[in-house]
């Protein structure tokens, strides 16, 4: 039987969220990662647990068909692989940071400086556009320690909360790129494997849609219905149901998480009451 082979980070920032995504797609697999190659029990999928840095190479060589890694790793390694879906987790940015006492106004500050990073290729390309490339020293982790031990003048590393920079006396000065987890694929998959991938992507999209949206129910004065309907950017148009009291109606709709609070403010302005917000389990459009 044909199977789709996926590589997932064994342990680290991407690991749990990648497995959670597969589980939410209804895919069951034995729950232990010490067995580095596992098969799903109810979907034609084989899961390999690997170091994230190795995943682009394995996808390029078609040892696996697809993988989940950070966009940062895709750009750094520049292998012959395709990004086929952004997955919306492990959001972070690659930023330049200097010691708190440095006065860094613009990028020319880095002329003649030494920068420690795990992303030397991305950083060199970034500075080539500026017309100069500072000295770059590659280290594979704990990058934030470099200025305090005299290894470099500045760093370029991944930042999300900013806590690690803060605890190491550094300040973020320029963003080099934004990143999130992505699914990558070998560009030449066999049709029978592509067919399985399409099925998986369909399920993933339903999960991502549900994460980005909320189902809302509310009661509103019937006379305000036109305003309320205008304020609700539903999938098609909201469901309107009469209540026992004809002066009131019940309205159901789907609202994007990102627009949520503005929409609620609008609805309240038009007299909406008893607003219930419900997470969506899956959403097939």
Ligand X SMILES: O=P(O)(O)OC[C@H]1O[C@H](OP(=O)(O)OP(=O)(O)O)[C@H](O)[C@@H]1O
Report the interface residues with ligand X, using CB under 6 A. 13, 141-142, 144, 157-164
CB 41 within 8 A of CB 29: yes
Give dist(CA 87, CA 57) in Å, integer.
20
Query: Which residue lies nearer to ligand X by CB, 95 or 224?
Result: 95
Query: Which residue lies nearer to Mg ion by CB, 52 or 65?
Result: 52
Structure tokens at 73: 């790793």
**For ligand ATP, which residue of 4, 6, 14, 272 counts as binding (CB under 6 A)?**
14
**For ligand ATP, which residue of 24, 29, 46, 53 counts as binding (CB under 6 A)?**
53
Query: Which residue lies nearer to ligand ATP by CB, 12 or 233?
Result: 12
- Does 53 contact Mg ion by CB under 5 A? yes
For strands 82-86 and 181-185, give the pairing: antiparallel
Of the candidates 158, 110, 162, 159, which has an alpha carbon nearest to the alpha carbon of residue 136?
A: 110
- Does 46 contact Mg ion by CB under 5 A? no
Of the candidates 72, 69, 35, which has an alpha carbon nearest to the alpha carbon of residue 55?
A: 69
Structure tokens at 78: 């520049």
Binding partner at 142 among ligand X, Mg ion, ligand ATP, none, C-beta below 5 to 8 Å by kind: ligand X
270: helix, strand or coil: coil
- Does 70 contact ligand ATP by CB under 6 A? yes
Binding partner at 14 among Mg ion, ligand ATP, ligand X, none, C-beta below 5 to 8 Å by kind: ligand ATP
Q: Which residues between 96 and 155 bind ligand ATP (CB under 6 A)?
A: none
Min dist CB 204 to ligand ATP, Å, is 18
- Does 51 contact ligand ATP by CB under 6 A? yes
Min dist CB 65 to ligand ATP, Å, is 19
**Residue closest to Mg ion, measured at CB:** 53
Give dist(CA 14, CA 5) in Å, integer.
17
Say what the alpha-carbon torsion angle 254, 260, 262, 267 is, to the nearest 10 degrees.
40
CB 8 within 8 A of CB 69: no
- Does 172 contact ligand ATP by CB under 6 A? no
Min dist CB 22 to ligand X, Å, is 21
Say what the alpha-carbon torsion angle 140, 145, 111, 174 is, to the nearest 10 degrees.
90
Query: Which residue lies nearer to ligand X by CB, 12 or 30?
Result: 12
Task: List the 273-279 sheet strands across, edge first.
Answer: 239-242, 248-256, 213-221, 273-279
- Does 10 contact Mg ion by CB under 5 A? no
The residues of the shown chain that bind Mg ion, judged by CB under 5 A, are: 52-53
The residues of the shown chain that bind ligand ATP, judged by CB under 6 A, are: 9, 12-14, 51-53, 70, 72-73, 90, 92, 158, 160, 179
């Amino acid at each position: 039987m044909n199977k789709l082979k996926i590589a997932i980070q064994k342990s680290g920032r991407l690991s749990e969220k990648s497995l959670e995504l597969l589980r939410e797609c209804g895919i069951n697999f034995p729950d232990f990662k010490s067995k580095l190659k596992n098969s799903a029990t109810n979907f034609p999928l084989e899961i390999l647990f690997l170091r994230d840095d190795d995943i682009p190479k394995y996808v390029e060589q078609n040892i696996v068909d697809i993988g989940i890694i950070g966009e940062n790793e895709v750009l750094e390694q520049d292998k012959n692989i395709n990004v086929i879906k952004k997955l919306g987790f492990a959001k972070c940015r690659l930023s330049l940071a200097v010691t708190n006492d440095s006065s860094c106004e613009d990028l020319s500050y880095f002329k003649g400086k030494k920068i420690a990073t795990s992303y030397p290729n991305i950083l060199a390309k970034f500075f080539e556009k500026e017309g100069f490339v500072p000295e770059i020293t590659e280290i594979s982790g704990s990058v934030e320690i470099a200025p305090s031990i005299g290894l470099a003048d500045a760093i370029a590393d991944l930042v999300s909360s900013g806590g690690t920079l803060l605890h190491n006396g550094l300040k973020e000065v320029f963003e080099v790129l934004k990143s999130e987890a992505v699914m990558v694929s070998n560009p030449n998959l066999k049709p029978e494997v592509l067919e399985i991938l399409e099925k998986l992507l369909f399920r993933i999209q339903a999960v991502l849609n549900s994460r980005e949206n909320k189902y809302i129910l509310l009661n509103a004065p019937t006379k305000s219905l036109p305003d309320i309907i205008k304020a609700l950017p539903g999938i098609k148009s909201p469901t309107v149901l009469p209540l026992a009291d004809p002066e009131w109606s019940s309205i159901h709709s789907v609202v994007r998480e990102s627009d949520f609070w503005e929409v609620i403010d609008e609805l309240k302005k038009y007299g909406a009451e008893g607003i219930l917000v419900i997470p969506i389990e899956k959403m097939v459009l």
